[in-house]
A and B are shown apart, each in its own frame.
Chain A
């Protein structure tokens, strides 16, 4: 780059980054503290708060539920979202324009309003069991991300390749799996990751849809925080951060991080 940057601006950027990363480092430190309350710098060194995550059955349960919701919700969203994205791009002229607006509604409508509405309609009126209601909420939450990200990669796909294959006698379904899907691979993976992260971090929808014995990790974290102010929260946070780092390394290795920034 040719333009020089004013040193004050660089200093400011540095401050912003300290502001962004400092608190995370402090959580990391606090999770290792040997005290029963939260301190930084840590006093004494101990992994017992990490042990505690495993010892508290509510954490074990909610981690499993959170992963179930993230995997299954994202999976279902992919199964119904990819065809929708495909239809939007392939048959754009044949479909009404409002359809693509409909597909972004779950992002436009505030999550907390979705949660409240689902509680009333799905849980109370329709009597759907808690676990399934939660899955519905999580699926709904991530559908627009799937459709948008997959659409973006379909937009640059040349459908004449597909038509050529079909005119050469390849059945349409097979053509989709052998020609189209491999070409939008990176879009699908990006959609998966984005949806997975959205689902696993969700608070506002889950807040209304959790019930006895079925809760997600962020909701359990809030509940635990109301009861204890011990470093367990910090150690759960650290585990989540380490998982995040792992995900980012996998993404970086397979696709390059630019994809998440989109």
Chain B
């Protein structure tokens, strides 16, 4: 056979081979951050795959990216979606999620009250977290004790803030307003002037928690603002990382799971949510440093509990954000934020 024909034939057969590969068992699609991927695989995905006899695939990315892609597909393509409450609120407003049949998720009854139905008939919260500051104690002295410390001159080129397109981003604006002594919603001039003062301290802003951890582990930054679920992996990367004890308070965030309107495995999706809310899984996630539990029956050792927002009392003490006010403001702030940090 001439060489050319042989090459053509072999490439056609190779193509046919690969074309035949997909298909097979039911695929169950989870949309989440991709954060703590290996632990999630071990604690949630592998046991769930065994339980359902299905194949689990993922869509990963930050809240905004995944929610937008879902909206583009009119709610189809994934079976469950993990989001922080500010983004699940936006998804609900866009009509992308279906109401949850709570009868199919008996474990919801075991959750703290605020996690059971944080957004009406839609998905429950599976974890409760705080947004605060982290710093590398080996490189930052004196320690961080207040949001105002972000403006310290000795932190030049050592800070990364969450981008405005993430959950915590708009809260940076709120803190800047507080730093300037004004209400961020009404006095944008003073608020963004205070933000502009932060520019010399910033290396780059991040879009995903993983990106922020990379920035710490490669030494690019020594201070950042983040949600507490990143702490476990941060400490693995850089043992000297501390969660700052802030005298001016931390912000509560609830992470929710929802079922999009276009889910092709609605029953399986309910089973999945019930599975991740079970006391056993919630305890494993907490002990492995993945997520704080919201299942009230989970008992944690003091060491394991120390890292988390844990127990009724602490949960009650956190400040909640009014997303009906913050979400529209975020869209308004986007351009000014870009002008402040992108120049």
Q: Residues of A at under 8 Å CB distance from B?
A: 37, 58, 61, 64, 67-68, 71-72, 75, 119, 123-124, 130-131, 181-182, 185, 188-189, 192, 211-213, 223, 225-229, 254
A212, B2: Cβ atoms closer than 8 Å: no
Kindly state the separation between the CA atoms of A37 and B57 in the bound complex, as whole angstroms. 27
B210 contacts which chain A residues (CB < 8 A)?
Answer: 226-228
A189, B34: Cβ atoms closer than 8 Å: no
Known pairs A71-B15, A189-B7, A254-B3; A130 contacts B77 (CB<8 A):
yes
A123 contacts which chain B residues (CB < 8 A)?
Answer: 72-73
Besides the contacts A37-B217, A75-B15, A212-B77, what 10 more A-B pairs have beta carbons closer than 8 Å? A37-B218, A37-B237, A67-B14, A68-B15, A71-B18, A72-B18, A188-B4, A212-B29, A213-B29, A227-B60
User: Residue B37 contacts which of A211, A225, A227, A229 (CB distance < 8 angstroms)?
Assistant: A227
Kindly state the separation between the CA atoms of A229 and B233 in the bound complex, as whole angstroms. 12
Give how many B residues have a beta carbon under 8 Å from the other chain's beta carbons.
36
B214 within 8 A of A: yes
B61, A223: Cβ atoms closer than 8 Å: yes
Known pairs A68-B19, A229-B217; A212 contacts B57 (CB<8 A):
yes
Kindly state the separation between the CA atoms of A112 and B18 in the bound complex, as whole angstroms. 27
Kindly state the separation between the CA atoms of A119 and B72 in the bound complex, as whole angstroms. 9
Known pairs A212-B29, A213-B29, A213-B58; A75 contacts B208 (CB<8 A):
no
Return the chain B residue nearest A181 by Cβ. B4
B341 to chain A, nearest CB (A): 19
User: Residue B2 contacts which of A182, A213, A229 (CB distance < 8 angstroms)?
Assistant: A182
B267 within 8 A of A: no
Kindly state the separation between the CA atoms of A211 and B218 in the bound complex, as whole angstroms. 30
Kindly state the separation between the CA atoms of A254 and B218 in the bound complex, as whole angstroms. 45
The 26 listed contacts between A and B (C-beta, < 8 Å) are A37-B217, A37-B218, A64-B21, A68-B19, A68-B21, A71-B14, A123-B72, A123-B73, A124-B72, A130-B77, A181-B4, A182-B2, A189-B7, A192-B11, A211-B59, A212-B78, A223-B34, A223-B60, A223-B61, A226-B210, A226-B211, A226-B214, A227-B34, A227-B60, A228-B210, A254-B3
B303 to chain A, nearest CB (A): 24
Q: Residues of B at under 8 Å CB distance from A?
A: 2-4, 7, 11-12, 14-15, 18-19, 21-22, 27, 29, 31, 34-35, 37, 57-61, 69, 72-73, 77-78, 207-208, 210-211, 214, 217-218, 237
B208 contacts which chain A residues (CB < 8 A)?
Answer: 226-227
B214, A211: Cβ atoms closer than 8 Å: no
B4, A75: Cβ atoms closer than 8 Å: no
Kindly state the separation between the CA atoms of A58 and B7 in the bound complex, as whole angstroms. 30
Known pairs A71-B11, A189-B4, A254-B3; A229 contacts B214 (CB<8 A):
yes
Kindly state the separation between the CA atoms of A229 and B237 in the bound complex, as whole angstroms. 10
B192 to chain A, nearest CB (A): 28
Kindly state the separation between the CA atoms of A229 and B208 in the bound complex, as whole angstroms. 13
A58, B59: Cβ atoms closer than 8 Å: no
B37 contacts which chain A residues (CB < 8 A)?
Answer: 227-228
B35, A227: Cβ atoms closer than 8 Å: yes
B12 contacts which chain A residues (CB < 8 A)?
Answer: 75
Return the chain B residue nearest A192 by Cβ. B11
A130 contacts which chain B residues (CB < 8 A)?
Answer: 77
B207 contacts which chain A residues (CB < 8 A)?
Answer: 226
